[in-house]
Amino acid sequence: MGMSLKGKIVFITGASAGIGAATALAFAAERARLLLAARRVTKLGEVASLAMESGAAGVHSIQLDVRHRHAVQSAIDELPEEWAQIDVLVNNAGLSRGLEKLYTGKVEDWEEMIDTNVKGLLYVTRAVVPGMVVRGRGHVINLGSTAGEMTYPNGAVYCASKAAAHAINDGLREDLLGTPVRVTSINPGMVETDFSLVRFHGDSTRAAKVYQGLTPLTPEDVADAIVWAASRPAHVNIARVTMTTVHQANSLLFHRE
């Protein structure tokens, strides 16, 4: 029997689209209270409305860029009292930029990926987890990737950022041993979101080719795994879930019709 998520405060970063938005709606269906953060306020508002319609017990939205350390700390410090006791943190904010050989890659792309996927992850974790330890409850769910388990050509820095997330996830679990706080990494393979569109700086033709000839995972598939991990009995910690479409074996092997 799983744990009820009703009324639990779930903080999701990168909640305006893709896996973040799907995760918000999945927790809403479980009657959770949602703390949603993203850079794009308009998109975030749309997700917040949908979440309320889907059954959320409440929604509070924050405009936030996780790359900015002081903004992250302030956002947590300034939460209204009724939103301060975060039960579940979903570290979802992340992106890929560019698909170039390392020695010709754009430094700006590298900075954006490292600042978001590694430093942003650390900033949010550092701001939220101390409260969980004090309250004696909490769950951190990090969005990893199959890219963190196996590097692929032209993706070294993105893969490195996800390998870092992998190590941070495991290190946090070790450091929280002796507390009831749980730490999970959900590592999807190919998921059809704006991920490729962002990677190719808005080139929709190039982005569409990524998903050609195969059925990718959907954001809802990943959200389902996140909610499943969060709803396990309190003594159960799901360390890592690696999931792909049946048309993908790992970062390098795909079957296209």
Strand ranges inside 84-203, DSSP E: 88-91, 139-143, 182-188
Does the active-site annotation cover 152?
A: no
SS3 13: strand
Distance CA 181, CA 143 (A): 17
Distance, CA of 11 to chain centre: 10
Strand ranges inside 112-166, DSSP E: 139-143
Handedness of CA 210, 39, 64, 59 (dihedral sign): negative
Angle of helix 69-77 versus helix 121-135 axis, rounded to 10: 30
Q: For 171-190, b where at least 16 C-beta lie within 10 A, e where not — what string? A: ebbeebeeeebbbbbbbbbb
Amino acid identity for residue 118 in this structure: V
For the annotated catalytic residues, the residue numbers are 158
